[in-house]
Structure 1
């Protein structure tokens, strides 16, 4: 028997670096999503990766140790070397997230990192610190490229919040920030969100953003900011929470002392230098979509209604029980009377949502539309958990306008 031929062994399969074969621009973009420490470590993967981290499109400076106490000095040394070795390419995004309180000696380094980001023409800048321990320098932010600024747990001072030297800034988000300034001003800003922030000043913060399209102010812990006219405003959500200091000292079952007398030192007067008698409603009167929520004892909306402006463009309106607690429901009647093109009204009564046990939809019982409210109003919703005397009172009020409800 002839000897059997030996089979040729299969050629070894080469493991291709498919990710490494991608163009530099895509790899730079991918590395931008990694913390800076992890992005630098990719240099050991292969020759192809050795220098990619030096020219990423984004920079994330974050604390990585979840179990051990965060050591800022270690992070500082790493970032110092990183900024020296990194190529001077432009940055799309910079994120600085600090998980432990900063001491006074550490503040200048973080402020220096922020200035470095601005020098690299950053477009999106995110800053987050623990318990508002990061205090940004009281220096102007000067950038022709910055479009989005997200601030979480940061202490902000007067000059920094003057964005006149940031002509491209469109989005400003402030969450749990301490504000040491009397003004927030920007002519270019389109979207502004202030959530859970507070001021250390006795006077109201003045918000001057004439080009604003979208506004959200929720749970401001001190005196409600004074809003200047926003003629281009599309949507606004203002929620006055429990910690708002604008509390009527003589509030009684939906009646504020400032509505009739000057008995309460909190309700009146507002600041003498205000150009309007309204704190909030005058500034947002041009909006097309409004969501206005308030705790019972807060007087701002009720006081503004004394000088109630006309909401000439308002199409959708969402209100809570604050507007329906007065014996005559005058706050609700006033805002409906001054909304001539309103199309949809939603009343979210004694129910936080988003799920409500009872939802009722209203419709006109006759073709005749009462002149006291908008002839365009075709959707009326009442959302609550139970239909009790308080809800029946509102339904009776709306029935006077020929609006009937079905469950």
Structure 2
């Protein structure tokens, strides 16, 4: 600093005056903030100031709620709002699109329109849930298969799938698929090369044929079948964990009183002993849970035909399988036969959980423990 000149401090920045202080934030941040609001509230921000007039159109997420702010929303209350919303906002990209609806007069044409809008806006996470219905009230979703290079997660509830809707060959980025309370009775197959996580819960399948599930890169599977024929799993070499529950399923051929009919042309039956329904897909899993539901609340008389036959079981077991857990109400003859079969392989321990009684004497030296 030259001599003789005094140093003066720089003036402090003037504080923001009253008014729209949030308007000083970059629009990108405001778009992100708006994405956390329900869509109705995000639209109302257009009255805050001139700068906010069109910001809501570029929110990175859309979540539609009911008039009272709760979910699911009554379809009759939000139909016109959502139809107008997707027209006014145009094709601005969105990361998340969530709609949960309920009601007695849901028009599936509107739902298809909303899904198409999400695809057009390069949505990454799409959730469409239809609440409150028995199978007869599920909505038939007859859209052709989805097509998007941006979709990574899809969650659907309360829909009836037809034809090839669940063929995701045109969604190369999808990794998460969650389907709940749906009907697959008219679906042809579930197919995806990129899928890593698949959840199917409380769902019904075709009564006369098995739907193949082709997902060779799947890492985790959660499958719950409540009716129809259990889907056929194709090979899943990267599978880490699988949780399969066959609950209340009538998995038998309609042309047979017990099991498969034996006709090789039957789409629902296994043509020969070299194929399987589940084991072909889950045999690589490191963590595996298999279960079947029980009927409670009714007194029924059931006559069982057939018996456990070890000769029809595979002669080898997956080399990585060392511990088997068997859950049962009590240890009876059937459980003992299964344990006897397992004792022939290099399995270090069989754990019996939730048992009422435990009385096992095996000559093979298989170690058993109960809890």
TM-score (norm: length of structure 2):
0.77
RMSD: 3.6
Q: Secondary structure at the match of 1:157?
A: strand
**Is the Cα–Cα contact under 8 Å of residues 242 and 287 in structure 2 kept in the other structure?**
yes
Structure 1: distance between partners of 2:151 and 2:327: 37
Shift of 1:71: 6.0
Q: Label 1:123 to 1:304 Cα distance change in 2 as closer, same or farther (>3 A).
A: farther
- Aligned 1:152-167 pairs, distance under 5 A: 152-167=157-172
- Aligned 1:176-215 pairs, distance under 5 A: 176-179=181-184, 180-215=186-221
Which residue pairs with 1:42 in the alignment? 45
**Is the Cα–Cα contact under 8 Å of residues 217 and 239 in structure 1 kept in the other structure?**
yes
Q: Label 1:55 to 1:406 Cα distance change in 2 as closer, same or farther (>3 A).
A: closer
1:403 corresponds to 2:363: no
**Is the Cα–Cα contact under 8 Å of residues 350 and 368 in structure 2 kept in the other structure?**
no
Q: Secondary structure at the match of 1:329?
A: helix
Shift of 1:219: 3.9
Structure 1: distance between partners of 2:202 and 2:272: 24
Structure 2: distance between partners of 1:118 and 1:99: 23
Q: How many residues align?
A: 334
Structure 2: distance between partners of 1:116 and 1:27: 22
Which residue pairs with 2:358 in the alignment? 392
1:143 corresponds to 2:148: yes
Structure 1: distance between partners of 2:289 and 2:174: 25
TM-score (norm: length of structure 1):
0.71
Shift of 1:128: 0.5
1:174 corresponds to 2:179: yes
Q: Label 1:328 to 1:162 Cα distance change in 2 as closer, same or farther (>3 A).
A: closer
Could you report, residue by residue, the CA deviation over 1:68-107 in whole angstroms, capped at 9, with x for unpaired residues? x97645523222321222142211111121111345xx22
**Which consecutive residues of structure 1, in runs of 5 or more, have no partner in the other structure?**
1-11, 249-262, 338-371
**Is the Cα–Cα contact under 8 Å of residues 210 and 231 in structure 2 kept in the other structure?**
yes
Shift of 1:307: 3.9
Shift of 1:63: 3.2
Shift of 1:312: 2.9
Structure 2: distance between partners of 1:335 and 1:227: 23
- Aligned 1:187-266 pairs, distance under 5 A: 187-241=193-247, 243-246=248-251, 264-266=257-259
Which residue pairs with 2:126 in the alignment? 125
Structure 2: distance between partners of 1:49 and 1:304: 72
Which residue pairs with 1:53 in the alignment? 56
Q: Secondary structure at the match of 1:129?
A: strand
